[in-house]
A and B are shown apart, each in its own frame.
Chain A
Amino acid sequence: MLEARGLSKFYGSVLAARDISFCLQPGQVVGYLGANGSGKSTTVKMLTGLLEPSDGQVVYNGQNIRNNLTAYRKRLGYVPEEANLYPYLSGEEYLDMVATLRAMPKPHKSKIISSLLHLFSLWPHRHVTMGSYSKGMRQRILLIAALMDNPDVLILDEPLSGLDVTSVLIIKNLIQALSARGKSVFYCSHILEVVEKVCSHLIILRKGQVIAQGTTSEVREHIGKSSLEGVFLQLVEERDVVQVANEIISVVVPA
């Protein structure tokens, strides 16, 4: 079980996240929503141990992750928001590097990488350097890197970015299958339809603070909206989106 206990983060005097607490149980898929700059990525970095909280702690199976970060990360799969990869390494070389860093045994590592490259349709491109990969191909490499060591917790930050329709459908089903196998998935995204479909629980963030959390239906009922889009607009967006769209039209297309 992964638990965030009162996580806060200040960059100098600027608040990025304040007193964030939640619990990620095995088999749960938690959707983490918020507008740009609401503190989603900061939370993710604290959950992965890339960023040290100013206050609070991340607890995994009863232990502060800082006590043994390596052991915690061995159980973690992480897809970052941006597909930052070394462009001069081939997809297979990069995955081999990650597998080696994860100390995966050699024969197992090669077998898993080959199988996943086939399944993610990257096998023909495995020797091509990633500088020439499309955004979707890079994203698939990141997904393979996150999944290949059978992690117990998956932290996915915009995992569907740049993927084609087939890949999106595969990933959506994959998340549900992983959840059914008892894996915990922490899912950050702006695509509300996908969140609504794959997540069992929701956490909504605004200006660095949690403003709603619970099961998807609980949150919807509590706000009194039938769709997640309605919930999101009511909680997070201060402006009337229709009016803003009309104002843009009036600027671009004069009467």
Chain B
Amino acid sequence: MRGAQQFLRRRWGEFSQTPFGRLVRLCVGRMFHGTADPDAGGLDLGVGVIVVLLAMPGVLVSLLMFEKYGSLIRFLRGDGVYDPFTATIPDVYFFLVLSMVVSGAAALWRWDSIFLDRRDYMNLVPLPISLRSIFFANLCAIFVLIGLLTLVVNAASLVLFPVAVVGSQGSFAVFFRFTLGHSAAVFLASTFSCFAVFAVAGVLMALLPAPVFRRVSLLVRFNLAVLLLALLGTSFAVPHWLTQLSVADAHRVAVLPPVSFLGLAPTVWGRGREPFAASMTKAAVAALGAAFFTTILAYAVSFRRSFIRIPETPDTGPLPRVPFSLSPLPRLRDVLLHTPAQRACYPFAARTLLRSDGHLQVVSGFMALGLVASAAALTSSPNLHTLVTGKAPPVESLSVSFILSYCMIIGVRFAFEIPADLQANWIFRFWLDREQHEARPIARRVLLLFCLSWLVPACFLSTLAFWGWTVALQHTAILTLCTVVLVEVLLLRFRKIPFTCPYPAFKSYSGLTVVAYLFGYFVFTDGLAQIENWSLGDPWRIVWFVPLFSIVLWAVWFYRKQMLEMDKELIFEDVSDSGF
């Protein structure tokens, strides 16, 4: 065993010293670390952190399985004997979805680094290496990346889940069979998810001109992220449907990729003769093969069409922009933005959010989350017909605008902490007076612009269409006030020009902050929707919102008044205790 290990290590050492081996290592490295300039303040987490982040969902869910299937706990609960190969189907489905979503998200995260770009061309092509070597090295790197992602995402569940389910049965054969079926399903599902994302990227790159690809890239990624989140949402409903539906109806659900891959596990467990499992296995293998060949084909075409032609295409970056104002009423903007610093920094922050890919991705991610959560809220209603009927909107309908507002505000607030070209912030260091408290007014305006500019009209018009003027005005007013109060709370200790500071350091209370945001989500989206629903019963009840908001705003004002001046000063390095 040790001899084989040494042999493999020696061979790998020899391979990685060859020109092709070095190329593969380079391509794998750029996929892990991204293509951004590390000095520009981009997020470079390092391989270790990435591995932990990817493995974490699998570890947590696998540990929960001990609570469900642990023999002692089952004994204490009085649960009887169960068949692991049928009882675990919903959990296998959940692991499949989880594996696909995490792998897909990781592939989306590395979307820009998958294919070789201008920098690679400038560095590699002048060297005495053939284009074929570069092509195959990056292809190898894609396979290595997919292999690593698949392994890391599923490693915990491959060991812990079978131990939790069949570990106490004392039969190695059963354990081995169960592990094999589960591994085959999650591994292939994970691989399919990565290939599917890469195939989409490759096809777009092969078909579209480079500037157009850059433009549509973000939109496609946003839609894929929504799709992945929606897939995660199916894990609660689909296993239940599968037990209720007939085989013929179940095939309709089979368009969902995890359902197809769910057929793999029973097939490996020896139940492949069941018609549903057999047809699903075929569908899964076909889907995986299609994704694999599409990726290879798209990669080959895009390499030929984009990479080889790089010198013929201008280094355009984004396309020329038509000059536009960020406010339809420039005079109103001058009234709202009082100082030169505000007038300069507000367009800067708004443009960064709209144009910087990284920031737009973060905001889009939160927005995708908001859309999926809104859909989940609407579908949670016991009677879908009541969502748009009755004198007043039900809680589920009211909560949608609160969910969208919360996700948008938190997304933009989170994006504020991500630096944009840190080295370029010298212009703000140079010009802004640290003792002038300009950070909050700027951040406040950007947050409100990004949330209310579209949400207020959308909320008003949709409410008006179903419930009339009074309810529409009332709901829009409450939503606006709630959003303003939320923004004030979130900016309590904010003292940076958005995007001009390095990432905040991890603090001892960072975990608590995340819990606070989750708690805030439920209070804001569900709590406020419940109160508003109650207030809509009698228009006079709306006055209760006045003391509620007044108390929160007074608390914010009082807290700021107590703060030391030095804690309010503008900063460009996050060395203080205040943080996100």
Interface positions of A (Cβ within 8 A of B): 48-50, 69-70, 73, 78, 80, 82, 84-90, 92-93, 96-98, 100-103, 127-129, 131-132, 145
Contact = CB atoms under 8 A, between A and B. Distances in A.
Given A86-B420, A87-B421, A131-B318, A50 B351 contact: no
Contacts of B314: 132
Contacts of A84: 421, 423-424, 426
B323 interface: yes
Interface in B389-440: 420-421, 423-424, 426-433
Contacts of B320: 90, 127-129
Interface residues of B, number: 31
B347 interface: yes
B270 interface: no
Most A CB contacts (10 A, CB to CB) among B322, B347, B351, B427 go to B427
A48 B320 CA distance: 34
A195 to B, nearest CB: 24
B351 A93 contact: yes
B385 interface: no
B555 interface: no
Interface of B: 314-318, 320-323, 340-341, 343-344, 347-348, 351-352, 355-356, 420-421, 423-424, 426-433
B441 to A, nearest CB: 15
B413 to A, nearest CB: 20
A24 B530 CA distance: 69
Given A80-B426, A86-B421, A87-B317, A129 B431 contact: no
Given A85-B424, A88-B351, A92-B323, A97 B344 contact: yes
Given A86-B421, A131-B317, A101 B351 contact: no
Given A86-B424, A97-B348, A131-B317, 11 more contacts: A50-B426, A73-B430, A85-B421, A88-B420, A90-B323, A98-B344, A100-B343, A102-B431, A128-B320, A128-B321, A132-B314
A72 B475 CA distance: 51
A50 B347 contact: no
A101 B431 contact: yes
B123 to A, nearest CB: 18
23 contacts: A50-B430, A86-B352, A86-B420, A86-B421, A87-B421, A88-B318, A88-B352, A88-B355, A90-B320, A93-B351, A97-B344, A97-B348, A98-B427, A100-B344, A101-B341, A101-B344, A101-B427, A103-B340, A127-B320, A129-B320, A129-B355, A131-B318, A132-B318
B348 A86 contact: yes
Q: Is the interface of B mostly helix, strand, loop or mixed?
A: helix
Contact of B321 (A82, A90, A97): A90
Nearest to B342: A100
Contact of B317 (A96, A97, A129, A145): A129
A178 B315 CA distance: 35
Most B CB contacts (10 A, CB to CB) among A49, A50, A97, A131 go to A97
A90 B322 CA distance: 10
Given A84-B421, A103-B340, A129-B317, A89 B426 contact: no
A248 to B, nearest CB: 21
Contact of B433 (A69, A82, A89, A96): A69
Contacts of A97: 344, 347-348, 427
Nearest to B316: A132
Nearest to A80: B426
A119 B318 CA distance: 25
A96 B433 CA distance: 19
A70 B351 CA distance: 26
Contacts of A90: 320-321, 323
Nearest to B357: A88
Contact of A88 (B322, B356, B429, B432): B356
B48 to A, nearest CB: 29
Contacts of A103: 340
Contact of B340 (A82, A93, A101, A128): A101
Most B CB contacts (10 A, CB to CB) among A48, A100, A102, A128 go to A100
B348 A129 contact: no
A128 B322 CA distance: 9
B340 A70 contact: no
Contacts of B430: 48-50, 73, 78
A93 B381 CA distance: 48
The 5 closest A-B pairs by CB, nearest first: A132-B317, A100-B344, A88-B355, A131-B317, A84-B423
A100 to B, nearest CB: 4
Contacts of B343: 100
A149 to B, nearest CB: 11
Nearest to B431: A101
Contacts of B352: 86, 88
A102 B340 contact: yes
A131 B356 CA distance: 11
A76 B460 CA distance: 50
Contacts of A101: 340-341, 344, 427-428, 431-432
Nearest to A128: B320
A88 B349 CA distance: 11
Contacts of B424: 84-86
Contacts of A87: 317, 421
A142 to B, nearest CB: 10
Contacts of B429: 50
Contacts of B341: 101
A43 to B, nearest CB: 16
A88 B344 CA distance: 15
B347 to A, nearest CB: 7
Nearest to A125: B320
